[in-house]
Amino acid sequence: MRYLMVEDSDELARSVADRLRLDGHAVDRACSLSEAEDCLGVAPYDLILLDLSLPDGDGRDFLIAQRRARRDVPIIVMTARAGVADRVDVLDLGADDYVTKPFDFAELEARCRAVLRRRGGATQTVQRFADVTFNPLSAQLTVGEEARELRNRELRLLEILLAAPERIFSKAQLCDRLFSYAESVTDNAIEVYVGRLRKKLEGSRVRIETVRGMGYRLTAA
């Protein structure tokens, strides 16, 4: 998944980004509201982590603008304002959730997963497609009765493909979802991870199909 973090604190931003990247997510960081708008203008994001107190304005104004523009990317507010009224306010303005600073990284990760599940229409963490079962929390893919461990990028790639079976994803789209601006990657990187994931799916009815000139899609025999 590709996250946008709008946070002006270098220390907090670095800590959160490092933790999320360990889970295989791509994280872009904006230090201000104007930088956040620039990022949204050129890349798709699965989730936004939004601070409220930023150098060029209030994060609540950014939140209002996103919802008025009918941008439905999930937004989790990271705030030091612990009052009930403050929390109710950001939820009423369109935030999907919030965490109060200082927060535990495990809680933030859990809230991210919960928000993404809700937006995807899922209520369960475990996903099933044809004869495979996927649990992103344990990074485990089960084919029949056999459990197979996934590495971070393999896990995130399967997550993307499983969210929309039969949809064709171009290499550029997959790059945008898997890697941040700070990472220098080529189309060959996608081919490598697709190849690795195909090996993990061997023996199942599920396959990653190459659609010539267009990209890849997850399908089942």
**Do 21 and 97 fall within a single domain?**
yes
- Cα 132–125–23 angle (5° rounding)? 90
What does the pLDDT read at residue 178? Answer: 87
Q: Does residue 175 carry a pLDDT above 80?
A: yes
Residue 177: pLDDT band by 50, 70, 90 thresholds?
confident
Q: What is the mean pLDDT of residues 51-71?
A: 93
Measure the N-to-C terminal CA separation of the chain; round to a whole number of Å. 27
CATH for 92: 3.40.50.2300
What does the pLDDT read at residue 122? Answer: 54
Chain segment 116-167, per-residue pLDDT in tens: 888 765 545 688 899 999 988 788 899 988 999 998 889 989 989 998 899 9
Q: Does residue 65 carry a pLDDT above 70?
A: yes
- Residue that is last in its domain, among 95, 119, 143: 119
- Residue that is last in its domain, among 119, 154, 183: 119
**Do 115 and 135 fall within a single domain?**
no
Is the bond preceding 44 in cis, omega lying within 30 degrees of 0? no
Residue 183: pLDDT band by 50, 70, 90 thresholds?
confident
Amino acid at 137: L
What does the pLDDT read at residue 151? Answer: 87
> Which residues share a beta bridge with 142?
133, 147
**Do 136 and 196 fall within a single domain?**
yes
**Do 108 and 152 fall within a single domain?**
no
Question: How many secondary structure helices (H) and strands (E) does the chain include?
Answer: 8, 13
What does the pLDDT read at residue 114? Answer: 87
Amino acid at 215: G
**Do 60 and 145 fall within a single domain?**
no
What does the pLDDT read at residue 221? Answer: 85
- Residue that is last in its domain, among 99, 119, 139: 119
Residue 210: pLDDT band by 50, 70, 90 thresholds?
very high
Closest CA to 20 of 43, 44, 1: 1
Closest CA to 86 of 99, 75, 74: 99
**Do 20 and 110 fall within a single domain?**
yes
Please tell me the pTM assigned to this model. 0.72
Q: Does residue 180 carry a pLDDT above 90?
A: no
**Do 209 and 101 fall within a single domain?**
no
**Do 90 and 148 fall within a single domain?**
no
The contacts of residue 211 (CB under 8 Å, 6+ apart) are 168, 217
Q: How many domains does the chain have?
A: 2
CB atoms within 10 A of CB 79: 22
d(CA 36, CA 5): 8
What does the pLDDT read at residue 5? Answer: 97
Greater pLDDT, 187 or 140:
140
Q: What is the mean pLDDT of the chain?
A: 90
**Do 109 and 133 fall within a single domain?**
no
Where in the sequence is the domain holding 47, given as residue range(s)? Answer: 2-119
